C-alpha cells in the first residue's frame, strides 16, 4: 500500500516523537534522526543501528527526505554565493551564503515573491506568488551547508555556517507559522543546535506577525527595516507603513522583553539624496535615542530599473558619525555580492533565470 509521505524537514522533533509513539516506535528515534540529518547534515538515508527495523520501514513508507534542488549558483568576486533554489512545483527563490569574519551567514527566503512591494526592493516587483513551507525553508539551509562541504571543504570545517538571517525574498512575519517552526528546528539541541543569537528575523513592519512574536517566537533576534523615520519617506519606501505606521510598530516592539544581550537591529538603507542627509540622521538619532538599538547602515544597491541611487562614501560616513553622536552603535554594512545581484534588496528570481548574470565575475556551476 502506498501512503502520502510527509516531509521529514517539515517536522519538529516533538511532532516526530509523537508520530513514532503512536506507531509504538521508540520516540528516541526522533533525536537519532535529528542528529543524523541536522547535526551531521547527512543527505543519505539514516542507517543508524539503534533504529529498529520497524522504525526504518515506517520511515521509508511514510516520510520523504527529498530536498529542493540547486538550479543555479553564482559566485561573487568577494566569494558570496547566490543559489537559485527550485521547488517541486517549479517555483524558485534565492538564498545567499555570505562569508564574514571566518564564518558564513546564510540569508534565507521565506516566500516566493513578496506582498509588501517595498519600492527599493527587486523582490517586491514580483508580488507574492506563494508562501514557502517549513521544509522548503529548511531545505535551503541543508543545500547551502552541503554545497559548502563539497565546494569549500576546508572552509566548511573552519568557517562553519553559524548564522542565519531571514532577510531573503519575502516578509518572514507574513509567513509566521512556517518561519517559527523553521527556527525551532534550527535551534533544536539534538540537531543543528544554533543559538538564538545566531538567528535574526527581519521584518518590514508587518504588525499582525509582530504581535505574535512575544507569545510564540523563540528568543531570536529581531531586525526592523527602518529606512526613514520621516513618515512620507517611509510610506514611499515601505508602503505597508501606511497600514501599520512606524509609531505603532515601535509601541509594540517596546513591549517585547529583551533577553540578556538581545537587541533590536534597525536596518537603514541609505539612498542618495532621499534619506541620507544630516537632517535624516538627526531625525533617526532623536527617534531611537531611548531604544536599545543597533543600526545597520546599508548603502543602496541599484538593480536594473531601480528608482534610486547609491549614496557617495563621504555622505555615508557623515550619516554614520551623526548617528553615533546619539550613542547608538551604527555599523556600516559592506556590500556583499552586489556584482551578482545578491546584495540586500537585489534578489529577484525572474531576473536570475532570464538574464546573463553569469557574465563578468559571477560563475555559473
Query: Which DSSP string do the residues of 18-70 spell out, in sequence order?
Result: HHHHHTT--TTHHHHHHIIIIIS---S----TTS-HHHHHHHHHHEE----EE
Query: Which stretch, 9-17, 50-58, 163-171, 300-308, contacts ligand SF4 (CB under 6 A)?
Result: 163-171
Residues with Cβ within 8 Å of residue 56, at least 6 apart in sequence = none
Q: Is 72 in the site for ligand SF4 (CB under 6 A)?
A: no
Using CB under 6 A as the binding rule, the residues of this chain from 199 to 218 that contact ligand SF4 are 204
Minimum distance from residue 117 beta carbon to ligand SF4 (Å)? 6
Q: How far is the CB of 350 from ligand SF4 (least distance, A)?
A: 14
169 binds ligand SF4 (CB under 6 A): yes
124 binds ligand SF4 (CB under 6 A): yes
Q: Is 223 in the site for ligand SF4 (CB under 6 A)?
A: no
Nearer to ligand SF4 (CB atom), residue 170 or residue 191: 170
Are 113 and 170 a contacting pair, CB within 8 Å? yes
Q: Which of 10, 46, 94, 236 is catalytic?
A: 94
Q: Which of 230, 227, 183 is nearest to 203 (CA)?
A: 227
Which 332-361 positions form the footprint of ligand SF4 (CB under 6 A)? 345
Is there a contact between 68 and 80 (Cβ–Cβ < 8 Å)?
Answer: no
Residue 80 or 126 having the CB closest to ligand SF4? 126
CB of 206 to ligand SF4, least distance (A): 8
Written as nine digits, the cell of 337 is 555580492
- Please spell the DSSP secondary structure of 172-231, one letter per residue: GGGGHHHHHHHHHHHH-TTTT---GGGEEEEES--HHHHHHHHHHS-S-EEEEE-S-SSH
Residues of this chain that interact with ligand SF4 (CB under 6 A) are 114, 116-118, 121, 123-124, 169-171, 204, 345
Report the catalytic residues: 94, 344
Amino acid at each position: 500500500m502506498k501512503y502520502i509521505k510527509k516531509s521529514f524537514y517539515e517536522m519538529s522533533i516533538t511532532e516526530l516523537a509523537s508520530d513514532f509513539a503512536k506507531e509504538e516506535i521508540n520516540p528516541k528515534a526522533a533525536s537519532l534522526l535529528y542528529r543524523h540529518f541536522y547535526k551531521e547534515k547527512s543527505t543519505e538515508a539514516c542507517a543508524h543501528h539503534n533504529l529498529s527495523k520497524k522504525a526504518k520501514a515506517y520511515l521509508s513508507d511514510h516520510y520523504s527526505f527529498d530536498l529542493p534542488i540547486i538550479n543555479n549558483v553564482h559566485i561573487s568576486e568577494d566569494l558570496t554565493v547566490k543559489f537559485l533554489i527550485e521547488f517541486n512545483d517549479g517555483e524558485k527563490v534565492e538564498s545567499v551564503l555570505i562569508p564574514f569574519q571566518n564564518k558564513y551567514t546564510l540569508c534565507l527566503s521565506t516566500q516566493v515573491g513578496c506582498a509588501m512591494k517595498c519600492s527599493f526592493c527587486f523582490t517586491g516587483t514580483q508580488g507574492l506568488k506563494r508562501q514557502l513551507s517549513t521544509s522548503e525553508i529548511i531545505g535551503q539551509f541543508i543545500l547551502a551547508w552541503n554545497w559548502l562541504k563539497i565546494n569549500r571543504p576546508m572552509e566548511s570545517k573552519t568557517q562553519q555556517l553559524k548564522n542565519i538571517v531571514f532577510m531573503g525574498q519575502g516578509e518572514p512575519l507574513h509567513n509566521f507559522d512556517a518561519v517559527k517552526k523553521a527556527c525551532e528546528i534550527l535551534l533544536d539541541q539534538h540537531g543543528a543546535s544554533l543559538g538564538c543569537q545566531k538567528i535574526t528575523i527581519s521584518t518590514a513592519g508587518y504588525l499582525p506577525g509582530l504581535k505574535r512574536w512575544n507569545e510564540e517566537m523563540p528568543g531570536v533576534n529581531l531586525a526592523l527595516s527602518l529606512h526613514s523615520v520621516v513618515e512620507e519617506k517611509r510610506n514611499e519606501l515601505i508602503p505597508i507603513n501606511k497600514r501599520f505606521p512606524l509609531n505603532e510598530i515601535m509601541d509594540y516592539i517596546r513591549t517585547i522583553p529583551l533577553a540578556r544581550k538581545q537587541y533590536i537591529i534597525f536596518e537603514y538603507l541609505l539612498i542618495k539624496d532621499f534619506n541620507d542627509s544630516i537632517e535624516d540622521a538627526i531625525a533617526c538619532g532623536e527617534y531611537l535615542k531611548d531604544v536599545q538599538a543597533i543600526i545597520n547602515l546599508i548603502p543602496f544597491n541599484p538593480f536594473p530599473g531601480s528608482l534610486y541611487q547609491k549614496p557617495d562614501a563621504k555622505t555615508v560616513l557623515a550619516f554614520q558619525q551623526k548617528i553615533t553622536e546619539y550613542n547608538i552603535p551604527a555599523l556600516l554594512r559592506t556590500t556583499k555580492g552586489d556584482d551578482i545581484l545578491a546584495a540586500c534588496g537585489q534578489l529577484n528570481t525572474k531576473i536570475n533565470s532570464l538574464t546573463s548574470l553569469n557574465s563578468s565575475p559571477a560563475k555559473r556551476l
